Structure 1
Amino acid sequence: MEELSLKLAMIGVAGIGAQWAAWRWHLPAIVLLFVVGLLFGPVTGFLNPARDFETLYRPAVSMAVAIVLFEGGLTLNFREVRETTVAVRRVILGGGVLVWLFTALAAHFLSGLSWPTSIILGAVLVVTGPTVIIPLLRQAHLKSRPASILRWEAIINDPIGALFAVIAFETLLVMGGAHEAENFIVSAIASGVFALVGGVAAGYGLSRLFARGHAPEYLKSPILFVTVLGMNAVTNLILHDSGLLTVTVMGVTMANLRLSSISDIRRFKETITTLLVSGLFIILTAALTREEIALFDWRAVLFVLAVLFVVRPLAIFIATLGTGLPWRERVLVGWIAPRGIVAVAVAGLFGASLSRYGVEDGPRMLTYTFAVVAASIVLHGFSLKPMARAFDLVAADRPGVLLVGASRFSIGLARRLKALGVPTLIADSNWSRLAEARLGDFDTWFGEILSENAHHSLNLSRFSYIVAATDNPAYNSLVCTDFGPDVGRSAVFQIGPSTNSDRHSVNFTIGGLPLFRPGKSFNDLRDHIATGWLFQATRLTESFGYAAFTAECPEGTHVILWVRPSGELIFAAKEGSGDPVAGDTIISFGPPRKDRDQEKIARATTVDRETRAERARMAADEAKA
């Protein structure tokens, strides 16, 4: 018992350690997890899942995969797929069937696998795996349309690929006389109906239960957790592995019912999913034996090359004909298809089942699947971002800043950031306040930044930092609280006055980091600008370091952030930010230098006067219209 506890602890530590290393050095996490699994299993023999977990192994894997797919379904909102509906439908339905067909042909004619093994292997490799795609998309910062296609395909194709494999396997059993055709047809239809109807009913029922207050907040996630496991198990009683479709439908249903607590639920599920994905991939990789690895030969190499460079690109090219997608997006979607946990889990199950029914090359299915998984996660994981950049499909090459609230302060900061090539967007719900930003040719967004429409119409992955700079401190705190879990609590900043009063200070868990220390209110900043305070950009050199910069600055100057030569942004208010060094460019806000900046102040005053006149003219024209 103690030895098993140690192994479970080691799996957890190694899995989360691999996830952290992937985040720290911008690597595909699945690659590191794959390496850890090989070290734990075939290389050292430290972990043998079938022996260590015995009869719990396969049920545990099935439940974990169900939770992963449900969490993926929670991220699929129909509003974000409106512009790609036709393409997504073609890629999932047409592309999936073509991948199945072409993969089966390649397995049989190139690798010499039997038809039963080839057909089921083709079905297994239809899946592309949200556990691999979603982290890659998070790192690559793709534009919204190709990112949406890849995400929807990965999440929907996982249960569909598993069902393809189940149907193929059951059909082979019927043809071999092991099952009756009538029973299989009835089971397939019943499981499909139950998956669709039951998934929608469970999702809708839980949403109503939560919305009407029939469950306390602390029980919502546990209730959801056990319901997912229950729906998966019940559907599997009808037809093996059909529960994956049920829980996916359930997740998609809840994602589109405007449930107020969906964000908290989704974040809880993301935490559980990260733990499960980390542990699952290590366990599944460790289950690969040396004998199965030895089955990898030159025919397996031919098969992997065919799947990656011919089967997938050709299937997507045919499926997306007439969809209106630009050729660059079609090529990218056709290339990027890393396989993941579901493919390995399903291949292991059916490979062993084929062996029991006398198909000699059944075990080779797992070897070939692992080969495709390993090759795809390495090639696709390391090529996605360079390929997207070459095709101009990256939303933003550099970390961007979202400024909430259009004012002379935020426009001045945006002007300095834009001059340094940092992507910026100024958002405000007041059209007239955006007038000066529009005249300055800044990227702007008119609307409520906290609205559901903003989350779907704005590609928020472009922005690594958010600065809430409106005249309402409470609203600034709300913006930072809402966006904090998405971009990181250390990457959201706000303006607002400092207070030492317990009566007036908000809880430390609410809001973002103060942009100024001590805090400055909106009125303070407005008064500073009225008296001539300016934003300055200063590049440090070996001869002019940070100490010389601070000594030369007028009293009261605040360092807002600095931009490193790599494009990385470091905000001074962030804990542990350190000091800028040679090569960094500092953006500061402070009083003008009396001699050198007099001309700048005069010029800025003239521009401001002209801008105000232009705004008045625009307002008059809008009033007449």
Structure 2
Amino acid sequence: MTTDQLLFGLGLTVALAVGSQLLASWLRIPALIVLLPTGFVAGALTDDIDPHRLLGATFEPLVSLSVALILYDSGLGLDMRKLRGDTRRIVVRLIVLGVPLTMACTALLAVPLLGMSAGAAVMLGAILVVSGPTVVGPLLGFVRPAERVGRILLWEGSLVDPIGGILGAVVFGGVVQRARLGSGEHVLQFVLSIGVGLGGGVIGAGLLWLLMRRLRFGEVLASTAQLAVVVVVAAACDIARDDAGLLAAVIMGLAVANLKSFDLPEHRPVSETLVQLIIGLLFISISATITPRSVADVALPALGLVAALVLIVRPLLAYLSTRGTDLTTGEWCFIGWMDPRGIVAAATASTFSVQLAAQGIGGAAKILPVAFLVIVATVTLYGLTATPVARRLHVVRAAS
């Protein structure tokens, strides 16, 4: 590829990402509803924005580090003081119950619906346990639900993304090795990855404290230093254990936002502008890698999977997670109607689908297009219905 072609492809990707977000703002709809089909159509019409062609082997590491920055920024918005009582209990249940329930149901459905092997089905299940702040945050910004409900959903999305990413990496290793999934060895591998992420987050928080509180750089340099620390620590954790950097990024964000010694200013050092640009670029790039033929082959069964996840699995999880708490019927019903998939699902599917297909795992080539369709369907469904559903359930925050 020539320099001119590379520049054109990168420029076109940025133009599509920002243009899609501007159009979504004008239409007053969540940006993801425009970003996903735009990237898919552009990828079908031209090879100029194919990220593998533009960036080669650097694409996947760049995606991982970009997601780490997004999760760090989401961690900055999580206030530990408000995570108490029933709110904390519900968030813990949504993750502890939600990850195995969603993974198991997805895997069981994927075998008959999509004709996948057991290994590919379990891999898809691990990928689709995530939700994420990249989609939940913007949707909640449109809906403005009751504060407690919004807080629960933001915490769930921010915490389940790194856990899901690590789980996906562990399951991928098990499928490739043809080992028995769920064995003690794989539980140990998962725990080790969590440990690396937690350790990296603690070390990163210490470095951030040193840079922000002891050395006292100016505002611009302090923000630049934060970006550098997050990238370096996330990269180091990912080298040690796949996707452990995502958990480290969230831990660093939580530490900076909640420890008094940081005394974080009101504005976020990782600006919303940067985060929004990253989100746009990632969704455009990953969507561009999916071919129309691969989507057409799995469209109907994938929609059947979406229907089961939306109408059965998520409502059941919401009921089990809120049972015995003081949430109203409207509040738990709204939690049961909000489970979109986001960039971590797209990124892990993009990473693992091709590698598993190359290993000869039956049905592995379907993982990425199915994940893409689940993301598109859930984002579109929740994006268009969340506001009227919230109003019907009387969980919309009063206008200030």
Range into which the TM-score falls when normalised by the shorter chain: over 0.9
**Cα distance, 1:208 vs. partner?**
4.3
Change (3 A) 1:186 1:115: closer
**Cα distance, 1:157 vs. partner?**
0.9
Q: Which residue in 2 is equivalent to 1:247? A: 249
Matches within 5 A, 1:179-328: 188-258=190-260, 259-264=262-267, 266-328=268-330
Matches within 5 A, 1:67-146: 67-83=69-85, 84-146=87-149
Answer whether contact 1:187 1:238 (CA < 8 A) is retained: no
Report which stretch shifted further, 129-138 or 301-310.
Answer: 301-310
Matches within 5 A, 1:413-562: 462-463=399-400
Q: Relative contact order (C-alpha < 8 Å, sep 6+): which is higher?
A: 2
CA distance in 2 between counterparts of 1:55 and 1:281 reads 18
CA distance in 2 between counterparts of 1:181 and 1:331 reads 36
Answer 1 or 2: which has greater strand percent. 1
Where structure 2 has 5 or more consecutive residues not aligned to the other structure, the ranges are none
Change (3 A) 1:11 1:176: same
2:169 is matched with which residue: 166, 173, 193?
A: 166
**Cα distance, 1:15 vs. partner?**
1.6
Answer 1 or 2: which has greater helix percent. 2
Change (3 A) 1:26 1:85: same
CA distance in 1 between counterparts of 2:118 and 2:189 reads 24
Where structure 1 has 5 or more consecutive residues not aligned to the other structure, the ranges are 397-461, 464-625
CA distance in 2 between counterparts of 1:335 and 1:111 reads 25
SS at match of 2:243: coil
**Cα distance, 1:106 vs. partner?**
1.5
Answer whether contact 2:227 2:270 (CA < 8 A) is retained: no
Aligned partner letter, 2:155: W
**Cα distance, 1:267 vs. partner?**
4.8
Residues 547-592 of structure 1: per-residue CA shift (max 9 Å, x gap): xxxxxxxxxxxxxxxxxxxxxxxxxxxxxxxxxxxxxxxxxxxxxx
Answer whether contact 2:114 2:298 (CA < 8 A) is retained: no
SS at match of 1:335: coil
| Identity value in percent | 33
Q: Which residue in 1 is equivalent to 2:394? A: 392
SS at match of 2:327: coil
CA distance in 2 between counterparts of 1:37 and 1:297 reads 18
CA distance in 2 between counterparts of 1:148 and 1:46 reads 40
Aligned partner letter, 2:7: S
Answer whether contact 1:316 1:334 (CA < 8 A) is retained: yes
Answer whether contact 1:204 1:254 (CA < 8 A) is retained: no
Answer whether contact 1:33 1:281 (CA < 8 A) is retained: yes
Answer whether contact 1:87 1:325 (CA < 8 A) is retained: no
Answer whether contact 1:204 1:253 (CA < 8 A) is retained: no
**Cα distance, 1:263 vs. partner?**
3.1
Q: Which residue in 2 is equivalent to 1:156? A: 159
Residues 508-537 of structure 1: per-residue CA shift (max 9 Å, x gap): xxxxxxxxxxxxxxxxxxxxxxxxxxxxxx
Q: Which residue in 1 is equivalent to 2:33? A: 31
Q: Which has the larger radius of gyration?
A: 1
CA distance in 2 between counterparts of 1:339 and 1:27 reads 17
**Cα distance, 1:129 vs. partner?**
2.1
**Cα distance, 1:229 vs. partner?**
1.1
Q: Which residue in 2 is equivalent to 1:344? A: 346
Give the total of aligned pairs: 394
**Cα distance, 1:204 vs. partner?**
3.7
Aligned partner letter, 2:75: G
CA distance in 1 between counterparts of 2:143 and 2:47 reads 35
CA distance in 1 between counterparts of 2:141 and 2:124 reads 29
Please, what TM-score do these two structures have when normalized by structure 2? 0.92
Q: Which residue in 2 is equivalent to 1:550? A: none
**Cα distance, 1:12 vs. partner?**
1.8
**Cα distance, 1:318 vs. partner?**
2.2
**Cα distance, 1:52 vs. partner?**
2.1
Aligned partner letter, 2:375: V
CA distance in 1 between counterparts of 2:245 and 2:17 reads 26
Please, what TM-score do these two structures have when normalized by structure 1? 0.60
Change (3 A) 1:208 1:367: same
Change (3 A) 1:205 1:48: closer
CA distance in 1 between counterparts of 2:187 and 2:305 reads 32
Change (3 A) 1:86 1:181: closer
Residues 475-528 of structure 1: per-residue CA shift (max 9 Å, x gap): xxxxxxxxxxxxxxxxxxxxxxxxxxxxxxxxxxxxxxxxxxxxxxxxxxxxxx
Answer whether contact 1:87 1:320 (CA < 8 A) is retained: yes
Answer whether contact 2:9 2:54 (CA < 8 A) is retained: no
Report which stretch shifted further, 296-305 or 83-92.
Answer: 296-305
**Cα distance, 1:107 vs. partner?**
1.3
CA distance in 2 between counterparts of 1:102 and 1:360 reads 19
Residues 21-55 of structure 1: per-residue CA shift (max 9 Å, x gap): 22233101101111220221024444222122212
SS at match of 1:312: helix
Aligned partner letter, 1:132: V
**Cα distance, 1:175 vs. partner?**
3.9
**Cα distance, 1:297 vs. partner?**
4.1
Answer whether contact 2:340 2:378 (CA < 8 A) is retained: yes
**Cα distance, 1:305 vs. partner?**
1.6
Answer whether contact 1:174 1:181 (CA < 8 A) is retained: no
CA distance in 1 between counterparts of 2:192 and 2:316 reads 34
**Cα distance, 1:124 vs. partner?**
0.8
Aligned partner letter, 2:55: F
